[in-house]
Amino acid sequence: MSSPPEIPFHRPSIDDDDVRAVAEVLRSGWLTTGRRALAFEDAFAAYVGAAHAVAVSSGTAALHLALLAAGVGPGDAVLTSPFTFPATAEAALYCGAEPVFADVDSETLNLDPDRAAEVLDRERGRRRFRAIVPVHYGGQPCAMEELLPLAERHGLRVVEDAAHALPAWRRMPGEGVPHHGDHLAPPPAGECWRTVGAIGDFTAFSFYATKPITTGEGGMITCADGDTAELLRSLRLHGLSRDAWKRYTSEGTWRYDVERTGYKYNLPDVLAALGVEQLKRSDALAAERRQLAALYGEALAPYREHVRVPRAEERAGHAWHLYPVRLRTGALRDRAVAGLRERGIGTSVHFIPLHLHSYYADRYGTRRGDFPAAEAAFDTVLSLPLYPGLGESGVARVVEALADVVRGR
Just list the catalytic residues.
Answer: 211
> At 236, is the secondary structure helix, strand, or coil?
coil
CA atoms of 293 and 44, how far apart (whole Å) = 25
d(C-alpha 75, C-alpha 130), whole Å: 10
Which residues is 99 bridged to in the sheet?
78
By residue count, the chain amounts to: 409
With vertex at residue 222, the alpha carbon angle to CA 221 and CA 227, rounded to the nearest 5 degrees, is 100
- Do 75 and 128 form a contact (C-beta atoms < 8 A)? yes
Sign of CA dihedral 160, 166, 179, 219: positive
Question: In a 3-state reduction of DSSP, which class is residue 165?
Answer: coil
H-run or E-run covering 338:
helix 330-342
Contact 323, 7 (CB under 8 A): no
The DSSP 8-state label assigned to residue 58 in this structure reads: -
Neighbours of 206 (CB within 10 A): 31
Ramachandran class of 197: left when φ > 0, alpha when ψ lies in -120 to 50, beta otherwise: left
Q: How many CB atoms lie within 10 A of CB 261?
A: 9
Side chain identity, residue 281? R
Residue by residue, DSSP assigns 371-385 as SHHHHHHHHHEEEEP
Rounded to whole angstroms, the Cα distance separating 89 from 98 reads 8
How far, in Å, CA of 144 to CA of 253, rounded? 45
Phi then psi for 23, rounded to 5 degrees?
Answer: -65, -35
CB 219 within 8 A of CB 58: yes
Q: Are 262 and 57 in contact (CB under 8 A)?
A: no
State the burial class of residue 29 (Cβ atoms within 10 Å of its Cβ: 0-12, 13-18, 19+): exposed
